[in-house]
């Protein structure tokens, strides 16, 4: 690396004017946002079997606060609290704030740098140092006296400032600012992703919790029914109407139902704790809000998928991948700019005196001004290899972007297919629950007429309760699949469309 300093005013003035003239030149590739492919409608790109067609009743009024479609005030309250107090969301917000600060720090490179300094130094020079060597030749017999005088301690007072500015000749600074700006956009997209993830996780955990509470209530009803039925079988066996095998089978069925209850209770507790963590609360803080409530049939709202071509704008991971590609493209320009010469225009002004009283005299001034040119001559090919490395990183970012887009469409197709399959299952389970309910009502009526025994009534009731438990599981899965679709679409309270509380 060679550095050339110009001592004459005409040369430094000409170099400064040349730097200003070239300051608008920017090297490296310009970023062009990719246009990801999209189908005409949501059912066009589908890998599912014909037995599970995608829903045909797709609405287009996509709303960011989609959880309000369920009409559940408890869920609405949980989502509001999560958006206000989630530790994960706060962490993502801090990452975004750090990126904003970093962007400001990089942007300051385009401005002149000015520094001020001041000091007072007590100095004693050596009588035998390099600065007194000349005395032997010119001072003669007065050498010792002169050296002693010059070596007497004294105080040197100094103050002044220096300034420097490097014109952005080849766009190195502007490309750096472009890169860090894209990185900030990526952090903003990740903040949106955190919001979407939080509201989705809260809803999925909440629906799973309600499912567990409903199954616990049904399990307790089933245990009570089987307990009564076991008592009847025992009484009939004692009366000689049934044998011990019937009692053993009935007791085994009861114990099986009792064995399932503790696991359901533990799962319900785990769900409460997951919700409290998502909201940044301690265990038990939400117990009043999450107390069990009477079971109600869950009917997921109509699907609203929006327009397929808007997916890249909504999905935060796609926007983050595009920002990463943008940053990688700008970094290529930074590396290319390092191949070219750079000019720095600098100047300094200072006051210096060994007498405090004369520090601010005009005669105490000293100054310097002029440009310096840095010209890369030989570095073993390091800069060229950095350019090649940045180009490879750009290609990697482009491949990552395409993969992110493909993954998004795959997640959407999987979520829609799972939702469609669960709707079919749910419809069958509803029909089964209705049939077992009708059968239970018929057996109960026949029992009142004396046509069947109470044991048959208990068996019909147990079958109905089991059907209700299976339906409760399906309802929970269906609601969670609805949530999964919104997460796959990138739908949620992002920066651009945050819902009002």
Distances 106 to 30, 174, 325 between C-alpha atoms, Å: 19, 9, 19
Look at residue 3 in the predicted model and tell me its pLDDT: 43
Task: Tell me the mean pLDDT in the region 300-327.
Answer: 88
* CA 54 centroid distance within chain: 30
Q: Tokens standing for 155?
A: 């105080």
SS (H, E, C) 255-290: HHHHHHHHHHHHHHHHHHHHHHHHCCCCCCCCCCCC
Q: What's the mean pLDDT when you consider all of the chain? A: 85
Average pLDDT over residues 189-203: 95
User: With pLDDT > 70 as the criterion, what percentage of the chain qualifies?
Assistant: 87
What is the model's pLDDT at position 8? 43
- Residues 1 and 341: their CA atoms lie apart, in Å, by 10
φ, ψ at 156 (rounded to 5°):
-105, 120
Q: What is the per-residue pLDDT for 65?
A: 93
Determine the 3-state secondary structure of 365 from DSSP.
strand
Nearest to 199 by CA among 397, 499, 408, 493: 493
| pLDDT band, very low/low/confident/very high, at 152 (cuts 50, 70, 90) | confident
User: What stretch of H or E contains 157?
Assistant: strand 154-165
Domain coordinates in residue numbering, the chain = 2-29+72-291+308-489
* Distance between CA atoms of residues 303 and 452, nearest Å: 47
CA–CA gap between residue 13 and residue 16 (Å, rounded): 5
Report the distance separating Cα 195 and Cα 415, nearest Å.
19
Classified as helix, coil or strand, 242 is coil
* CATH superfamily entry for domain 2-29+72-291+308-489: Outer membrane efflux proteins (OEP) (1.20.1600.10)
Structure tokens that stand for 170 in this block: 């080849």
pLDDT surpasses 90 at 206: yes
Q: Regarding predicted confidence, which is higher, 243 or 197? A: 197
Longest dimension (CA), the chain: 144
Q: Where do we find the tokens 């208990």?
A: 458
Residue entry with tokens 């007590």:
122
Q: Which residues pair with 345 in a beta bridge?
A: 165, 371
Residue 476: in which H helix or E strand, if any? helix 454-489
Q: Given the structure tokens 């949106």, which residue do they identify?
A: 192
Report whether 498 contacts 254 (CB < 8 A).
no
For 299, the token pair is 């009917």
What does the pLDDT read at residue 136?
63
Is residue 485 a contact partner of residue 57, using CB atoms and an 8 Å limit? no
Give percent of the chain above pLDDT 90: 48
- Number of Cβ within 10 Å of residue 289's Cβ equals 14
Q: Is a pLDDT exceeding 50 seen at residue 7?
A: no
The band of 453, judged by pLDDT with boundaries at 50, 70 and 90, is: confident
By C-alpha distance, which of 207, 229, 281, 222 is closest to 458?
229
Give the closest residue to 221 by CA, choosing from 463, 456, 431, 474: 463
């Amino acid at each position: 690396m060679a550095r050339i300093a110009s001592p004459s005013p005409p040369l430094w003035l000409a170099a400064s004017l040349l730097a200003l003239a070239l300051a608008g030149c920017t090297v490296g590739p310009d970023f062009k946002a990719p246009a990801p492919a999209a189908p005409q409608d949501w059912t066009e790109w589908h890998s599912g079997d014909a037995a599970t067609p995608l829903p045909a009743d797709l609405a287009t009024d996509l709303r960011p606060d989609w959880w309000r479609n369920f009409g559940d005030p408890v869920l609405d309250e949980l989502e509001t609290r999560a958006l206000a107090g989630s530790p994960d969301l706060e962490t993502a917000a801090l990452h975004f704030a750090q990126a904003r600060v970093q962007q400001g720090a990089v942007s300051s490179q385009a401005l002149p740098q000015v520094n001020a300094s001041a000091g007072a130094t007590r100095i004693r020079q050596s009588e035998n140092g390099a600065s007194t060597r000349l005395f032997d030749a010119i001072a003669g017999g007065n050498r010792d006296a002169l050296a002693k005088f010059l070596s007497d301690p004294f105080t040197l007072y100094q103050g002044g400032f220096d300034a420097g500015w490097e014109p952005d000749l080849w766009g190195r600074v502007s490309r750096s600012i472009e890169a860090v700006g894209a990185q900030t956009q990526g952090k903003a997209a990740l903040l949106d992703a955190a919001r979407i993830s939080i509201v989705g996780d809260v809803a999925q955990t909440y629906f799973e919790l309600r499912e567990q509470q409903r199954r616990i209530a049904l399990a307790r009803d089933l245990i009570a029914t089987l307990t009564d039925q076991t008592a009847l079988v025992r009484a009939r066996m004692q009366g000689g109407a049934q044998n011990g095998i019937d009692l053993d089978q009935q007791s085994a069925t009861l114990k099986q139902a009792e064995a399932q209850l503790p696991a359901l209770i533990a799962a319900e507790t785990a769900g409460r704790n997951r919700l409290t963590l998502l909201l940044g609360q301690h265990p038990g803080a939400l117990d009043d809000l999450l107390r069990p409530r009477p079971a109600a049939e869950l009917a997921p709202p109509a699907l609203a998928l929006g327009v397929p071509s808007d997916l890249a704008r909504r999905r935060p991971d796609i926007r983050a991948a595009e920002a990463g590609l943008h940053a990688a493209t700008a970094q290529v320009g930074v590396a290319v700019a390092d191949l070219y010469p750079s000019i720095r225009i600098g100047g300094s002004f200072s006051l210096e005196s060994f007498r405090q009283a004369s520090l601010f005299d005009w005669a105490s001034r000293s100054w310097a001004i002029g440009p310096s040119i840095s010209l890369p001559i030989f570095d073993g090919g390091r800069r060229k290899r950095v350019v090649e490395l940045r180009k490879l990183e750009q290609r990697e970012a482009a491949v990552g972007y395409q993969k992110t887009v493909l993954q998004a469409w795959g997640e959407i197709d999987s979520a829609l297919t799972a939702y469609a399959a669960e709707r079919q299952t749910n419809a069958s389970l509803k029909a089964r629950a209705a049939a077992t309910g009708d059968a239970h009502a018929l057996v109960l009526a026949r029992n009142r007429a004396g046509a069947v025994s109470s044991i048959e009534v208990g068996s019909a009731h147990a079958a109905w309760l089991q059907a209700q438990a299976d339906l409760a599981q399906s309802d929970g899965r269906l609601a969670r699949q609805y949530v999964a679709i919104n997460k796959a679409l990138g739908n949620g309270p992002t920066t651009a469309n945050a819902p009002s509380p």
